Amino acid sequence: MRPIIFHDDAQAEFDAAIAHYEMRETGLGLRFHTDVERAARLVNQYPRIGCQYKSTEFRRYVIGRFPYSIFYLEFEDAIWIVSIAHNTRRPDYWKGRQFDRE
């Protein structure tokens, strides 16, 4: 399987959402983490599982129990997660993020 690479800002979003849910209820952050990790593995295994997002090259996979989506690009040698975004807040704020292969 290809590596899954999180954009630094996507990782920060992920960490902040975990902390937010954990503050709301003990264990909820862990459930969110588990769901996102499961979704990332599915995206890696079946990259076309996510729908093409609008008229961009990005794909979107909705995370199920939580109101978040993974936005990603499929490369031959990796899956790049550009954002872990809330489904109703600040749409498309992440679209300017660049992939850094270093």
- Report the 10 Å Cβ neighbour count for 99: 11
Measured between alpha carbons, how far is 102 from 9 in angstroms, rounded to an integer?
Answer: 16
- In terms of Cα–Cα distance, which of 18, 13, 12, 72 is closest to 44? 72
* Sequence ranges of the domains in the chain: 4-78
54 pLDDT higher than 80: yes
For the chain, the first-to-last Cα distance in angstroms comes to 20
Rounded mean pLDDT of 30-45?
97
Tens digits of residue pLDDT in 13-26: 999 999 999 999 99
102 pLDDT higher than 70: no
- In terms of Cα–Cα distance, which of 36, 35, 49, 32 is closest to 4? 36
What percent of the chain lies above the pLDDT cut of 70? 97
pLDDT given for residue 101 in this prediction: 57
Q: What is the DSSP letter of 91?
A: T
pLDDT given for residue 91 in this prediction: 85
| Average pLDDT over all residues of the chain | 93
